[in-house]
Amino acid sequence: MSRRRQIYEGKAKILYEGPEPGTIIQYFKDDATAFNAQKKGTINGKGVINNRVSEYIFTRLGHIGIPTHFIRRLNMREQLVRQVEIVPLEVIVRNVAAGSISKRLGLPEGEQLPHTLIEYCYKDDSLGDPLVAEEHIACFGWANNEEMQDIAAMAIRINDFLCGMFAAIDIRLVDFKLEFGRLWDGDYARIILADEISPDGCRLWDMNTGEKLDKDRFRRDLGGEEEAYQEVARRLGLLQNEDGGPGEVFDLSTARNKLRGSKTKH
């Protein structure tokens, strides 16, 4: 596929004009950021892993009736998605105390919350993505009441599904970030799931050891980020096992060699 016009470059992805009207190509980068881009680095192969993990999760969510922007994966780093108008909110779904909620409320990290909690942050890096209430959202018109009901209902359904999916591979889903968009059909817009779901935006802990298998390894200078991302993909059946196990897999070292030769095209 010929390279299209670049529309936008974010912290983890580049968006290009799609091959058909109403489509976009998402290119997943290896760049890693934390603390609203105050900390920057690289996790080798992260874009390849996130592309496959997000494809896998969005496809499975589609099977249970969650509408998403995902159309298909194009190659190791790119996927074709529907163009949407992003709702300017980060939707944080929390099952266990960790990260900012532990700091804000003095909760011990790892404490199970009484029930699943949904928080909303206004998407603006210059402001530090501040936590907002539904009253703010309504007041400033970021989403209407019907849209918020759809967002909350989908977030709970997604959480229920992902908790079970990850538990089946001995991973505890601590919390995760979602983004939603409006898909317009004339004057009518419906809310659908957008962006990505990957170890970049999830806290994933090994159920037996408590080992962190997500971007917290980068945030906290724990090391082993590349191995952690690979472990999530391996458990999902997306990465070649050391013993060459079966399944829909790819070999990351081979992928890296192929990608080195194509980086100049991007």
Domain boundary assignment for the chain: 6-84+229-265, 85-206
Instruction: Determine the topology of domain 85-206 in CATH.
Output: D-amino Acid Aminotransferase; Chain A, domain 1 (3.30.470)
Q: Spell out, as residue ranges, where the chain has pLDDT lower than 50.
A: 1, 242-266
Query: Contacts by 142-151 with C-beta closer than 8 Å and gap 24+?
Result: 142/87, 142/88, 142/89, 143/87, 143/89, 147/87, 147/182, 147/191, 150/190, 150/191, 151/87, 151/89, 151/91, 151/180, 151/191
Query: What pLDDT, on the 0 to 100 scale, is given for residue 1?
Result: 45
Residues 1-53: tens digit of each pLDDT? 456 799 999 999 999 999 999 999 999 999 988 776 678 899 999 999 999 99
**Tokens of residue 25, six digits:** 């190509």
**Tokens of residue 258, six digits:** 């192929």
pTM here is 0.88
- CATH code of domain 6-84+229-265: 3.30.200.20
Query: What pLDDT, on the 0 to 100 scale, is given for residue 38?
Result: 73
**Tokens of residue 265, six digits:** 């095209």
Asked, colleague to colleague, whether 6-84+229-265 and 85-206 share their fold, the answer is no
